[in-house]
Amino acid sequence: MDLNSKIYVAGSRGLVGSAIVRKLKKLGYKNILEKTSEELDLRNQSSVENFFDTERPEYVFLAAAKVGGILANNILPAEFIYNNLMIEANVIHSAHKYKASKLLFLGSSCIYPKYATQPLKEEYLLTGELESTNEPYAIAKIAGIKLCQAYRRQYGDNFISVMPTNLYGINDNFNLDNSHVLPALMRKFHEAKLSGTPSVSVWGSGKPRREFLYVEDLADACCFLMQHYNDGEIVNIGTGVDITIAELAAMIAEITGFTGEIIYDTTKPDGTPIKRLDVSKINRLGWYARTSLKAGVEKTYQWFSKEGLMLCRRI
């Protein structure tokens, strides 16, 4: 990419897409295409093709997706598989048809088998059973990877796929019905502090281990890979460091100022016991995560305390 390249960021209002837009602007890129879901429904093939035909983006960051936590995945499996399949198929095919120079597809660490050896290496894809609580989403993301690889193999398209670990940061989703664990805990602890609620309930046992990546670091990695990586094999993006959900809850409670009791609801599912990415591949390419979990959570809470609260009032 050069600074005048036409760059389309699909999903530019979401957690990942908005971070990529901020990073591109910070780097000096001036020709960034953004469309809201109201302006362009990526599930609609003809609308997507018309957009690509008109705009002819040279570079595409495919960050648009239907996302959510365990609860949302459990109650809306059809929506998760359908919406994600449609979005990625339409964008990837149109990027091919209208000759985009390069496309970067954002997958997810949930593509890996539930009981795979830790840390999760890229070659573990499709070597075992998936975690049942988010299987539809994972299958859709695996299909996106295979689409990119198929278009590369058949047509020579420079389409790459990256697998980020659990993400958090500015513009995260704090809806308690469909958010991921970190923003959900942040909202729960913040509201409990304000209301004087003596305890907060956390799903599961608190024992599962998870890795978390600040979304600004992910955006930096995506821009780095768009410039420096041109291979069809997937690339993990993460910190390589994990933490138990109980440790995460204690950290967020401290940062938000909640001093009450944390109760673990063991009637709720834990999900995968441990999930940590092997990030040696991207490290060898020259990229490393820069933001510690505590620093990232503190930055996210500073944003949430101001702008995020207004979003919650509309949820």
Residues carrying an active site annotation: 137
56 is in an annotated binding site: no
203 is in an annotated binding site: yes
106 is in an annotated binding site: yes
Chain centroid offset of residue 286 CA: 21
14 is in an annotated binding site: yes
68 is in an annotated binding site: no
30 is in an annotated binding site: no
Please check whether residue 32 is in contact with residue 23, taking contact to mean a CB–CB distance below 8 angstroms: no
164 is in an annotated binding site: yes
Helix then strand then coil, in percent of the chain rounded to 5, is 45, 15, 35
Closest CA to 254 of 246, 242, 243, 265: 246
How many other CB atoms are found less than 10 A from the CB of residue 274? 17
107 is in an annotated binding site: yes
165 is in an annotated binding site: yes
210 is in an annotated binding site: yes
Backbone angles phi, psi at 176, to 5 degrees: -70, -15
200 is in an annotated binding site: no
And the tokens for 114? 């539930």
Looking at the DSSP bridge assignments, the partners of residue 120 are 277
Backbone angles phi, psi at 105, to 5 degrees: -100, 130
Does residue 113 have a cis peptide bond before it, meaning omega lies within 30 degrees of 0?
A: no
180 is in an annotated binding site: yes
CA distance to 69, 202, 207, 303, per residue, from 265 (Å) = 16, 6, 12, 29
161 is in an annotated binding site: no
Binding-site sequence positions for NADP(+)? 11-17, 106-109, 141, 164-167, 180
Binding-site sequence positions for substrate? 188, 203, 210, 270
Binding-site sequence positions? 11-17, 106-109, 141, 164-167, 180, 188, 203, 210, 270
